[in-house]
Homo-oligomer: A and B are copies of this chain.
Amino acid sequence: MIDLRRLRAFVAVAEERHVTRAAERLGMQQPPLTRLLRGLEEELGVPLLRRLPRGVQPTEAGQVLLEEARAVLARAAELQEAVRRVARGETGRLAVGFTPSAALHPFVPAVLRAFREEAPGLRVELDEAGTTELADALQHGRLDAAFVRSPVGSVPGLLVEPVLDEPMVAALPDGHRLATAGEGTSALPLAALAAEAFILYRRPSGPGLYDAILAACRAAGFSPRVAQEAPRLPASLSLVAAGLGVSVVPASMRRLAVAGVAYRDLTDCPGLSAPLHLALRQAGLTAAVARFRSAVRRGAAGRSG
């Protein structure tokens, strides 16, 4: 089969029209070059060079080979560069997923925007899905990184590292007695919600926060009465606004400014917080993924520090 070394040799000779000079240019001696040329001619079964008294001249087939060989060599060089660029994470694809609640944290869009600017050659693809789907997609390589709320436990091969941690706040209907209580805007003990109807977001799409809230309530001495389960976090806020009950949501939800919802800081609920995690595949860390991770870390440090 065709060998690139021979093509390189031929191109040099055809360009120099001189075997000895071409050998010099190729950093080799003339005899092996002559043999390389003969090998190429034998392989193709075609005379490629006309031997003149003074140098050589490509035949017509040689002319065609010269052009074709240049193209192949250029493509091969490009190949090398393309692979290296991908390896350096300058180019390629990076698929990032996030849960709906993670998407609502302003940090996520901010860090994605910053990373796009930092690595313009990378095609960043986004996907929103539930935590379990994200974990599955990560495992199977459909995703390279994912923002999740809870530490995705017990999924082998995944690396989950904390990014940010934010307190949870109570989301109350506007005009609710606890929203306008005499304490003003100071913190509300979690136990104050013991009698309220709770609106929580469905379990399968995000096991972490649901469990964390229930656990915190139990630790505060009550078991919350779950009046309604919303499919996703933003939907639960709408239900709160409709007066169907109260909810406990990450503090960053305040920025959503849902009409009809009042927020109050919570206190007396140790361990109740809404963490933001970055999940990665443990094996085969791509350079692009590594760059993304470092961008996330930098972003988190700049935010909390």
Neighbouring B residues of A110 by C-beta, 8 Å: none
Say yes or no: A83 contacts B59, CB within 8 Å. no
Say yes or no: A64 contacts B86, CB within 8 Å. yes
Give which listed residue, B44, B79, B91, contacts A87 with CB less than 8 A.
B44
Tell yes or no: A4 within 8 A of B by CB.
yes
Q: Which residue of B lies closest to A79 (CB)?
A: B68
Q: In the docked arrangement, what's the CA distance between A46 and B79, Å?
A: 13
Q: In the docked arrangement, what's the CA distance between A220 and B225, Å?
A: 133
Neighbouring B residues of A25 by C-beta, 8 Å: none
Say yes or no: A61 contacts B83, CB within 8 Å. yes
Say yes or no: A75 contacts B78, CB within 8 Å. no
Give which listed residue, B2, B57, B78, B91, contacts A79 with CB less than 8 A.
B2
In the complex, chain A residues 1-48 whose Cβ is within 8 Å of any chain B Cβ: 1-5, 7-8, 44-48
Q: Which residue of B lies closest to A62 (CB)?
A: B83
Give which listed residue, B1, B65, B93, B283, contacts A5 with CB less than 8 A.
B1
Q: In the docked arrangement, what's the CA distance between A48 and B61, Å?
A: 37
For this complex, 26 residue pairs linking A to B, each with C-beta atoms less than 8 Å apart, are: A1-B4, A1-B8, A2-B77, A2-B79, A3-B3, A3-B4, A7-B79, A44-B80, A46-B84, A46-B87, A50-B283, A50-B284, A60-B92, A60-B93, A60-B288, A61-B83, A61-B87, A64-B82, A64-B83, A64-B91, A64-B92, A65-B83, A68-B82, A68-B83, A71-B75, A72-B75
A residues lining the B interface (CB < 8 Å): 1-5, 7-8, 44-48, 50, 57, 59-61, 64-65, 68-69, 71-72, 75-80, 82-84, 86-87, 91-93, 141, 283-284, 286, 288
6 closest A-B pairs by beta carbon, nearest first, are: A68-B79, A46-B87, A61-B86, A61-B87, A64-B86, A50-B284
